[in-house]
C-alpha cells in the first residue's frame, strides 16, 4: 500500500480504489492536543482540496482538505469520542476513507522523502 | 523570535523542550509536553509556571498622604500588613488600565503586581497620582514562579523555613528560599491551592529545578489560560481593556466604594444608569471550542463577541466568556455563536465553570 502526502499535511494511503485519509504527524505536532474532530458525511462526493473535515486542539483549529477527490465511504467514528488517537498515532489513524474518482490525483502527491524535504523547507 | 525579552528561566524552558510563543514582548513557553497533561498536573498534583514576565512595582511612603490610595480601586490603608488584594487601575472614564494585586508589605511599603503588557501604562498611571514617596519599577530584577495544585503545599514546604499552614488565602510572607530573599504568597490564577514565589533572577532557575525534582510538572501559558478560564477569571486584553469598565466586564463586585479612586465617579454614574455591556459565561454542550472574536447571535442579530474560549478538559465541553450589549441581550432566548462552519448553539451558565470536588 502506497502512502503519499499533500502540502496541506494530509496523507492518503491507497488500497485498490479506496484511499484512507489522515493527518501527518507534523500537522498533529503543530496543533497540539486534539480535542474535537468533525467528520465528513458518508456518501458525500468531495473534490480534491475541498475542506471536508475539521479538527480542533486546545489552542488551535484547522480545516482538513482532502488530498484526493471521490465518494466518502467510511468515517472513523472512534475519533468522535477519542480525538486524542490522532496525537497518539497520527500516521496510523485514518479519519475517513473514500472511493477514488481519479487515480492521477494520488500520483501528483508527495512521497515520504519529498514530504520530509517539504516540511524541512517550512 | 526577534526582539523578544527572555526571563531568567529561558534556558530551563529550552532544556525542557518547550514550544515557545511571543507574548506581550516576551518569549514564553506555550507548552512543554502538552496542554492537557500540564492542565491535569495542576488539577490533580502540582504544576509550576514561569510568570516572570509580569511586572512588580514597589512604593515606599505615607499611604494616606502620598496619593497612592487614589491610584487603584484597592484600599491600601484598610488592607492589613501581610495581606494582598485584587483590584483595578482605572482611567477617568472607569475603563480598565489594568487589573492587579497589591501586597501590603509594611505600614509604609507596597508591592504592585501587574500584567506584562501594561507595565508602562500602569507605572505612569500610578505615578500620576503620587505627590510623595518613592515608587520604583523592579520588574526586570524580579522572577516569578507560580506553584499550583493540590500537592503544591507539600512540595513547596520542602524548601521553606516557615510553616505553610500559617499562610492564609491572599496572605504572604517575606522569607528566604535557598538562602536568598523571597516573597511567597498564597495566591494564584488556577483555582487550585497554590503559591506565587517572587524571586531574585539569580536564584529562580535553581528553585525551578528543585521544584521539578520534588515532583512539580512544568506547565506553560497554554495550560495557564485554560485553568484560569475554567474558573472564569478575567484576562487583561480579553475581558478587560480601557474601553470597558469593571461593571461591563462583570467584575464590579471586586470594587469597594468606601474610598476615592480614579474613575470612581464614572463607575457610580454607570451603576445608576446600568452598564452598557454584560459578560456572559457559556458552554457549547459539545467538544467544539468557542474562540476569541466569534460573534454571539440572538434573535438573528449580532449581540456581542466571545472574549475568551477554549475546550475545557475539566468540564469536558467547550467553555467561554462573551461580552454582549445589554440592550440586545435576552437571557431566556436561544443563543448561538457564528463560525465559518455554521452556528454553535450555546447554553448560559454560572461561574466558575469548574468546581473542585464535584
* Interface contact flag, A58 B291, Cβ < 8 Å: no
What residues in A contact B311, CB-CB < 8 Å?
Answer: 35-36, 56, 58
Mutant choice from A28, A33, A78, A87 vs B, greatest count of B C-beta within 10 A: A33
B2 pLDDT band, cuts 50/70/90, is low
User: Which of B222, B287, B288 is opposite residue A59, by nearest beta carbon?
Assistant: B222
The position carrying cell 532544556 is: B15
Residues with Cβ within 8 Å of B117's Cβ and at least 6 positions away in sequence, in order, are: B24, B25, B236, B237
DSSP code of residue A32: -
Q: Which of residues 134-193 of B touch A (CB under 8 A)?
A: none
Calpha distance B206→B159 (Å, rounded):
11
Specify the number of domains making up chain A: 1
CA-nearest residue to B227 within chain A is A58
Q: Packing angle between helix B35-44 and helix B221-231, nearest 10 degrees?
A: 50
Going by their DSSP bridges, the two strands A34-38 and B180-185 should be labelled as unpaired
B358 pLDDT band, cuts 50/70/90, is very low
Give B322 to chain A, closest Cα distance, Å: 17
Return mean pLDDT, chain B.
96
* Interface contact flag, A61 B310, Cβ < 8 Å: no
Using alpha carbons, select from B275, B225, B305, B160 the residue that is nearest to residue B28. B225
B271 pLDDT band, cuts 50/70/90, is very high
Could you tell me the CATH number of the domain that includes residue A65?
A: 2.40.50.100
pLDDT in tens, B213-261: 999 999 999 999 999 999 999 999 999 999 999 999 999 999 999 999 9
* Confidence at residue B356, expressed as pLDDT on a 0 to 100 scale: 82
Low-confidence residues of chain A: pLDDT under 50:
none
Class of residue B135 by CB neighbours under 10 A (exposed 0-12, middle 13-18, buried 19+): buried
pLDDT in tens, B88-110: 999 999 999 999 999 999 999 99
What number of other Cβ atoms are within 10 A of residue B350's Cβ? 7
Q: Which of residues 279-298 of B touch A (CB under 8 A)?
A: 286-289, 291
The reported pTM is: 0.94
- Domain range for A82 is 3-101+110-120
Q: Do residues B42 and B190 make contact, with C-beta atoms less than 8 angstroms apart?
A: yes
HEC letters along B69-137: HHCCCCCCCCCCCCEEEEEEEECCCCCEEEEEEEEEEECCEEEEEECHHHHHHHHHHHHHHCCCCEEEE
pLDDT in tens, B145-168: 999 999 999 999 999 999 999 999
CA–CA distance from B221 to each of A56, B73, B112, B287, B349 (Å)?
18, 27, 21, 21, 25
What number of other Cβ atoms are within 10 A of residue A90's Cβ? 20
DSSP code of residue A66: -
User: Which of B37, B287, B291 is opposite residue A35, by nearest beta carbon?
Assistant: B287
CA-nearest residue to A52 within chain B is B341
| ipTM of the modeled complex | 0.87
Cis bond before residue B25 (omega within 30° of 0): no
* Interface contact flag, A59 B341, Cβ < 8 Å: no
* Interface contact flag, B286 A36, Cβ < 8 Å: yes
Amino acid at each position: 500500500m502506497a502512502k503519499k502526502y499533500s502540502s496541506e499535511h494530509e496523507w492518503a494511503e491507497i488500497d485498490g480504489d479506496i484511499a484512507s485519509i489522515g493527518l501527518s504527524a507534523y500537522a498533529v505536532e503543530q496543533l497540539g492536543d486534539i480535542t474535537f474532530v468533525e467528520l465528513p458525511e458518508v456518501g458525500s462526493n468531495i473534490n480534491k482540496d475541498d475542506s471536508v473535515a475539521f479538527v480542533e486542539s486546545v489552542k488551535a483549529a484547522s480545516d482538513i482538505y482532502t488530498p484526493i477527490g471521490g465518494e466518502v465511504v467510511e468515517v472513523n467514528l472512534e475519533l468522535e469520542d477519542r480525538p486524542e488517537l490522532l496525537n497518539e498515532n497520527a500516521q496510523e489513524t485514518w479519519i475517513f476513507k473514500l472511493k477514488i474518482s481519479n487515480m492521477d490525483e494520488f500520483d501528483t502527491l508527495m512521497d515520504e522523502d519529498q514530504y520530509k524535504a517539504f516540511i524541512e523547507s517550512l | 523570535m526577534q526582539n523578544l525579552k527572555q526571563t531568567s528561566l529561558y534556558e530551563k524552558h529550552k532544556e525542557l523542550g518547550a514550544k515557545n510563543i511571543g507574548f506581550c514582548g516576551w518569549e514564553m513557553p506555550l507548552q512543554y509536553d502538552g496542554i492537557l497533561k500540564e492542565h491535569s498536573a495542576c488539577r490533580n498534583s502540582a504544576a509550576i509556571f514561569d510568570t516572570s514576565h509580569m511586572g512588580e512595582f514597589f512604593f515606599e511612603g505615607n499611604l494616606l498622604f502620598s496619593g497612592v490610595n487614589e491610584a487603584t480601586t484597592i484600599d491600601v490603608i484598610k488592607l492589613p500588613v501581610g495581606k494582598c488584594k485584587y483590584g483595578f487601575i482605572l482611567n477617568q472614564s472607569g475603563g480598565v488600565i489594568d487589573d492587579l494585586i497589591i501586597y501590603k508589605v509594611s505600614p509604609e511599603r507596597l508591592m504592585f503586581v501587574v500584567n506584562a503588557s501594561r507595565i508602562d501604562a500602569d507605572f505612569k498611571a500610578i505615578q500620576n497620582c503620587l505627590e510623595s514617596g518613592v515608587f520604583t519599577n523592579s520588574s526586570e530584577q524580579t522572577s516569578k514562579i507560580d506553584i499550583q495544585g493540590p500537592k503544591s503545599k507539600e512540595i513547596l514546604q520542602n524548601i521553606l523555613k516557615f510553616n505553610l499552614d500559617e499562610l492564609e488565602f491572599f496572605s504572604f510572607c517575606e522569607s528566604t528560599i535557598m538562602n536568598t530573599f523571597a516573597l511567597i504568597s498564597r495566591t494564584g490564577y488556577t483555582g487550585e491551592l497554590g503559591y506565587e514565589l517572587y524571586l531574585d533572577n539569580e536564584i529562580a532557575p535553581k528553585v525551578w529545578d528543585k521544584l521539578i525534582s520534588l515532583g512539580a510538572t512544568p506547565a506553560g501559558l497554554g495550560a495557564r489560560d485554560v485553568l484560569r478560564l475554567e474558573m472564569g477569571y478575567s484576562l487583561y486584553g480579553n475581558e478587560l481593556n480601557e474601553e470597558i469598565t469593571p461593571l461591563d466586564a462583570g467584575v464590579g463586585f471586586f470594587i469597594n466604594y468606601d474610598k476615592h479612586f480614579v474613575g470612581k465617579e464614572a463607575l457610580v454614574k454607570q451603576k445608576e444608569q446600568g452598564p452598557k455591556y454584560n459578560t456572559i459565561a457559556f458552554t457549547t454542550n459539545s467538544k467544539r471550542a468557542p474562540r476569541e472574536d466569534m460573534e454571539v447571535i440572538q434573535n438573528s442579530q449580532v449581540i456581542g463577541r466571545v472574549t475568551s474560549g477554549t475546550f475545557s478538559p475539566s468540564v469536558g465541553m467547550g467553555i467561554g466568556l462573551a461580552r454582549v450589549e445589554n440592550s440586545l441581550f435576552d437571557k431566556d432566548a436561544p443563543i448561538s455563536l457564528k463560525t465559518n462552519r455554521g452556528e454553535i448553539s450555546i447554553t448560559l451558565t454560572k461561574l466558575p465553570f469548574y468546581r473542585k470536588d464535584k
